[in-house]
Amino acid sequence: MGAAAQPNVVMDSLSSLEVPMVQPPPSSGLLADQPPPLPVLAVGQQFFLEANPSKCQFHLPHADDQVLYRVKTLILRPMSTGHAEKGDVDVQAANTNATPSGPDGALSEPLRLLGFLTAQPHLPLPSSAVRRISLGERGEVGRLSPPAAVGLLSSLSRRFTADMGTKRTVGIIAQVALLLFCSDGMSGEEVCDSPLVASLLPSSFRSSSQLSSSHAPVFAKLNRRDGAGGWSPLISDRYQWLEVDLGERTKITAVATQGRYGSSDWLTSYLLMFSDMGHNWKQYRQEDSTGSFTANTNADSVIQYKLQQSTIARFLRLIPLDWNPSGRIGLRLEAYGCSYPSDVVSFDGSSSGLEYRLNSGASQASIDVVHLNFKTLRNTGTLLQAEGHEGLTLSVELERGKLLLLLREGRTSSHDSQHIVTLGSLLDDQCWHAVTMERRGSHLNLTVDKHTERVQIPAEFSHWDIQKLSVGAAQNPVISKKSFHGCLENLLYNGHKMIELVRHSNPQVTVVGNVTFSCSESVSVAVTFPGPQSFLQLPGTTASSSEGMSVGFQLRTWNKAGLLLTFNLPQQGGVLWLYLSEARLRLQIHKGGKVLLELSAGAALNDGQWHSVELNSRRGRLTISVDTEEGDSTSASLSFPITVENHLFFGGCPAENDRQDCRNPFSVFQGCMRSLMLNNQRMDLIMVQQKQLGNYSNLQIDMCGIIDRCSPSRCEHGGRCSQSWTVFHCNCSHSGYSGATCHSSVYEQSCEAYKHNGNTSGHFYIDVDGSGPIKPQLVYCNMTEEKTWLVIQHNNTDLTRVRPSPGVNQQSVHFDYSSAEEQLLAVISQSDHCRQELSYHCKKSRLLNTPEGSPFSWWLGGPGPGRIQTYWGGAHPGSQQCACGLQGDCVDLQHYCNCDADRMEWTEDSGLLTHKESLPIRSLLLGDIHRPGSEGAYRVGPLQCHGDKNFWNAAFFDKETSYLHFPTFHAELSADISFLFKTTASSGVFLENLGIRDFIRIELSSSTKVVFSFDVGNGPLEVHVESSISLNDNRWHRVRAERNVKEASLQLDDLPVATQETPADGHFHLQLNSQLFIGGTASRQKGFQGCLRSLQLNGVTLDLEERAKITPGVQPGCPGHCSSYGSLCQNQGRCVERVKGFHCDCSLSAYTGVFCQTEVSASFKSGTSVSYTFKEPYELSRNSSAVPSSIYSDMTLRGENISLSFRTNQSPALLLYVSSHYREYMALLINKHDKLELRYKLDSNREAEVLKSSMRSLANGQLHTVTIRRLTDSLSVQIDQNPKEEFNLTVDGDFNAIKLLVLGRVHDSGDLDPDLARLASLGFTGCLSAVHFNTISPLKAALLHPDTSPVIINGPLSQSNCGSAASANPYAAENTHHLSDQSGSVGSGQPLVNAIRTDSALIGGVIAVVIFMVVTGLVIAARFLYRRKDTYQNQEVKGVKQEDSQDFPFSNQVDSQNLSTENPKEYFI
């Protein structure tokens, strides 16, 4: 009940349902003047009970806040006595936890129950009275509000059956989701729905006009037929209104409308306005809807709206917007509510106020609650100051129309105040605003109107007692600027009515200054310019030009630009424009297309505050001023007088202006104006409204309709909100999120997700909960061929020496991680497996001793500060052992750790901790370090995790009727949905959730189209994306949908995002109440057939697999990933399926890495040789060992596929040589002309055939790639990206019995021609990379599998990344994502490269070229120097942090992400 306001229309389909009523005995006075008794629910009804927790405090013992009862009969009836009839309150619980609270199954305290639960199947009813059930559109049943209990019925299902032949209740099953019983002293909310208009006198009604005396507003009472049957104005347009004076301020909770009786006159929509004075109207807006209300469809039906937020007002005004096009405006209305108690006090803004001093001896309450209502025209003032001991002061102040909560220590200046929170906006609108401040220790809640901020105040306030409460006056001018000027109402402190205490002269309350117990307000009539057709035309003045001219007004707007005022200058034939531009006030005088004068003043006038503007022309000077007291003014001399002889136009010009007396080259003004003055005479805007003065269009007179769309801000995750008059904007820069409201993360949720975008190892920002509250974090993703590791560092991963300190028996070490607490825990929870290395190197330093004794050392791990753990790396939790104890190989078998042997030589205990509940390691405490000779060193590695439970969570729907269901998707304001799907079907619904009228759905509408649709009350809205390829290709496709208060968006794969804007002032709360259907719909139509994976709603992954295990027609998991991700495997890498994912098999590739993308390169010197031996003939029949197929190959070849990359300055140079057992060979070389040359000798009796490429300058130190293909006598050569060159051999034969493949220097050159033998003896100096010969990769075998491969290495061979194109820049830094970068590469998951290109590097390169060209000897010297740097260091060795002793043998281990590959700084020039 209390949900969004809906028309309370009786459902025709249920109007014929008659059920017996239970009525109280006549003697009862308990429910006097209460609503009629509730109906007894009929046989077989199924429904839910819901309670509003705000009515009374109630806590359920179950984690899910639900207790399910199964009862045979539920009878709802008011209680008349303190005793229930026997059997009426018997409860049969559906589970053992929900037990009855009274003896024999009877609920205790039956007096407080509104209804009874009975288990008796045949309960005679005491009355045969019959009443029909009237159901609201949201399923509301009756009104449940007795004096001593609260129970709310809602979500009544539409399953109604009744036994119409008996007046007995035969049996019913109820599922009670929440049944709320309040304790003593907690009364239910007072019923506030009495008719307010029906009994009013005729003088209480006013209107803009009336068609006749019988159409007067007095006849506009609901269901009345006198007069003409309602009110109708003289003209039906949007400037008409009907006003009702309720006589005093009243609480209004609902409104209802009817058309004019017996006519075709009714409204279809209207605006609702409220006021206290009959001026300064405030438009009512539903929390989740437009400002307009949908009205009637005929003249007789009653449409009632319950206001979501009740309002307090004396005057009600209804403004028609639309009406029956076949009739005219016709209206009857009613308002519902109750009396409103009001205790008012007024302060004059000088020094008036109230002081409430608490008794010093009285015990202070543990909770302080202050409540008040206020209204003011000033945007600054002190509302409340609470002062405690030692000058600790808490202050609530109004500043620039916002409410600030400030803390001060002592009587310091205002600059020393600690600003805690800001809440509210535009609070100087002369309307009532409610403020509640509740403090519980150091926790404080501040509520302004409907918005609450929960804050933590400093610890010194946790035991702070209020000694004095000051209201209104700034008691200390040093610390507060201004006193409050305005009215306060219903001021309460811990339940004490302070204004009432003042009236009764209570000595605890002191009145300061001029305080009155009424609220006298000055009337300031404002006018709102809402849109492009708005303007206000006022007549000019007849004053003589010698007296000058002045125009003044106040403005309030969010827009930076707009015309404020214009009028013609007939005597000069010019025009004056006063306008806003870039939020500054500007004035221009034009004549004949030329600017005669231009002035500007003020700044930031679009801040939503009231600003005064004055235009004065006196004695030959023209002056414009902004905020005269503290603002800016500019003036200039004029050679002609400024007068207004015709009209002034404010805000804009009429749409049709044939006379050209108003021209507007600027945008129209959208905002408010008030206090319009012309020559010091106030312009009466009420006369304008009554058409007695001037003219206007599309204005809202006597109100300022400004709305602060940034309070509260709809921008999430720290996005900065800005606004214009009609819309707001979110600046998401540097937030890590994107979208109209900064809702969706631009980062992936895991390293696993980055891998499947094709990324390799590097630093990445991950957002573990997507659009959730946890911020992105920077991690290292180590993507290996087998697993993808996520690595989180802490402040000390080095091997660190521990030495005893005098008087210290233990040493404690704490580890601070690079990720925040919630980020760490989320990563661990989301990962399949986590580990962390823990090692201790010891010399005469014991570790754990024995499992029976107390450990000398331990560590803390797990959430928060961690829990004490007494086992070591490699052992099991709770074992108090180390890895050697588990394996039984400790140095002393009497102990379970090597260190516990207590020996004088160095040893160690190390291993991996893999129990996720104990990770990460928070701190380490080492105990046995104080004895003479004790030494130790510890190392705690980074946290490493792999696997993503969410990314691979999948389900397979094998037929259209199968589906999974989950609880309702709660996404009232914003929702993001993402998932992957693959299917062979052409259509199907992925997801659907329904409400009463609202819904949300994502579906595959055709084989190429995905549709995202929803309805939040404005009608269905649809966003779709069309793909150029079929989506039913059984490959994974990714869908991302987002809906927020500004727009809806949909993205499919990497296609452009489709967006659809939502109405600016439309509904924005999505209200769903059914189950969430996945893979199907509630109607079981158009179900989805195929796989869904990684389904996330607002960053939360739905566990499809677990739900699929218990759901027929749905299978957990979904295999077959290579069809989608196989293209990521490069360079002949082969995609291999896994249950969760895939991996690239690089055994047939010359490359390595997670995608076979990393070249295997080596730096060669002149003496380096890599010889790969093919199988001998007798070995062909043998069983080879299980080694990669890239290592062995057959011996006789009909053709070759050869590829390699090289970089050298040597010419001539032999790149590759293959020999055979029959004196045949093949050689690839660079000849003395820097050209590529290929020599084939396939017949030992003939000379070798020489094939030369036309490409020149290959020995230029740049990287070149060569690909050679031979099939019998046909051969092709391709160098880099140049066109292929085709050759033909004269010998059409096989390359028989190949024996040896050599890279670098050939030591056995007996079979070579003399010139080739000389070249082979020189060796090769340079870089070779990605060498591939048919199915083998000899260089890869030599570097990565030297022990298991048939390779022989002679001379220096160092692995390098010289074969990478990136190695051309020897200063390339590591790849890292940065939060500040919001480029497209961030969203696509590509690492951002921070390449450091210094000027010195460029200059060095130039100098090297000059030296090469001028002095050959220096070139040779440079070669010699760089040869000394040819050894590649695979790991960097770091020493321990503290001083090392000579006998300390352990070096620090470096993490995998810190491994670097040396880039040679000289390319063998």
Is residue 348 within 8 A of residue 513, CB to CB? The reply is yes
Instruction: Give me the pLDDT at residue 289, please.
Output: 58
Q: Is the pLDDT of residue 966 over 60?
A: yes
Looking up tokens 């007046």 gives 167
- In the beta sheet, which residues pair with residue 153? 49
CA 242 vs CA 217, 218, 1242, 1385: distances in Å? 7, 10, 107, 59
Please check the confidence at residue 634 and state whether its pLDDT lies above 60: yes
Angstrom distance (rounded) from CA 133 to CA 40: 9
**pLDDT recorded at residue 306:** 92
Q: Percent of the chain scored above 90 by pLDDT?
A: 45
pLDDT for the residue numbered 459: 73
Region 835-858: mean pLDDT is 88
- Residue 143 pLDDT greater than 50, yes or no: no
* CA–CA dist 335, 317 (Å, integer): 11
Cis bond upstream, residue 103 (ω within 30): no
When mean pLDDT is compared over 109-113, 148-152, 1037-1041, 1461-1465, the highest value belongs to 1037-1041
**Residue of higher predicted confidence among 778 and 1148:** 778
What's the average model confidence in pLDDT over 469-497?
A: 78
Residues 984-992, mean pLDDT to the nearest whole number: 93
Nearest to 208 by CA among 686, 687, 690, 685: 690
Predicted confidence (pLDDT) per residue in 994-1046, tens digit? 988 889 999 999 999 999 999 887 788 899 999 999 999 999 999 999 998 88
Buried b (16+ CB within 10 A) or exposed e, 505-516: eeeebeebeebe
Torsion, Cα of 1176, 1178, 1179, 1181 (10° steps)? 140
Average pLDDT over residues 224-252: 94
Average pLDDT over residues 63-78: 32
Q: Is the pLDDT reported for residue 1262 higher than 80?
A: yes
Residues 712-737 have pLDDT tens digits of 898 999 999 999 998 899 999 999 99
pLDDT one-digit tens code per residue, 301-353: 999 999 988 999 999 999 999 999 999 999 999 999 999 999 999 988 887 88
pLDDT over threshold 90, residue 943: yes
Tell me the HSE value of 45 on the side-chain side, using a 13 A CA sphere.
Answer: 26
Backbone angles phi, psi at 900, to 5 degrees: -70, -10
Residue 135 reports pLDDT greater than 50:
no
What percent of the chain shows pLDDT beyond 70?
Answer: 75
Which of 851 and 837 is assigned the larger pLDDT? 837
* End-to-end Cα distance, the chain: 84
pLDDT for residue 450: 84
The pLDDT score that the predictor gives to residue 1194 is 53
Token digits of residue 82: 């303190």
Outline where DSSP puts E strands in 891-934. Answer: 907-913, 921-926
User: Is the pLDDT score of 168 beyond 50?
Assistant: no
Q: Does residue 901 have a pLDDT over 70?
A: yes
* Average pLDDT across the chain, whole number: 77
Residue entry with tokens 């003409």 = 228
Distance between CA atoms of residues 230 and 215, nearest Å: 6
pLDDT band of residue 825 (cuts 50, 70, 90) is very high
Higher local confidence (pLDDT), 521 or 1008: 1008
Buried/exposed 616-650: b ≥16 CB within 10 Å, e otherwise: bbeeeebbbbbbeeebebbeeebebbbbbebbbbb
pLDDT at 481: 59
Total number of residues shown for the chain: 1469
For residue 1141, what pLDDT band results from cuts at 50, 70 and 90? confident
Report the DSSP beta bridge partners of residue 1060: 1048
The pLDDT tens digits of the residues spanning 1174-1219 come to: 876 444 344 444 444 443 345 788 889 999 999 999 989 999 999 8
Q: What is the Cα–Cα distance from 1261 to 1325, expressed in whole angstroms?
A: 11
| Distance separating alpha carbons of residues 670 and 652, to the nearest angstrom | 9
Q: Which of 18-22, 512-516, 970-974, 1048-1052 ranks highest by mean pLDDT?
A: 1048-1052
Lowest-pLDDT range of 4-18, 913-927, 1326-1340: 4-18
pLDDT at residue 1391, rounded to an integer: 41
Whether 528 shows a pLDDT value over 90: the answer reads yes
* Chain Cα centroid distance, residue 56: 33
**pLDDT over 70 (residue 1223):** yes
- 506-519 pLDDT per residue, tens: 888 888 888 888 88
- The residue ranges of DSSP E strands in 1062-1198, in sequence order, are 1076-1078, 1090-1097, 1100-1101, 1114-1116, 1134-1138, 1141-1145, 1151-1152, 1158-1159, 1161-1164, 1169-1173
**What pLDDT does residue 189 have?**
53
Distance CA(255)–CA(1425), nearest Å, equals 93
For the stretch 1351-1380, pLDDT in tens is: 999 998 888 888 776 554 433 334 444 444
- Is the pLDDT at 783 greater than 50? The verdict is yes
Looking only at Cα atoms, what is the longest distance across the chain?
130
Average pLDDT over residues 677-706: 91
pLDDT higher than threshold 60 for residue 767? yes
426-456 pLDDT per residue, tens: 999 989 999 999 888 778 899 998 889 888 8
Residue 1246's CB: how many other CB atoms inside 10 A? Answer: 10
Q: How confident is the model at residue 1119 (pLDDT cuts 50, 70, 90)?
A: confident
Q: What are phi and psi of 1372, to 5 degrees?
A: -60, 130
The string of pLDDT tens digits covering residues 5-56 is 433 322 222 222 222 333 333 333 222 333 333 333 333 333 333 333 333 3
Structure tokens at 976: 């993001």
Distance CA 914, CA 898 (A): 20
pLDDT at 1097: 92
- Asked if the model's pLDDT at residue 172 lies above 80, the reply is no
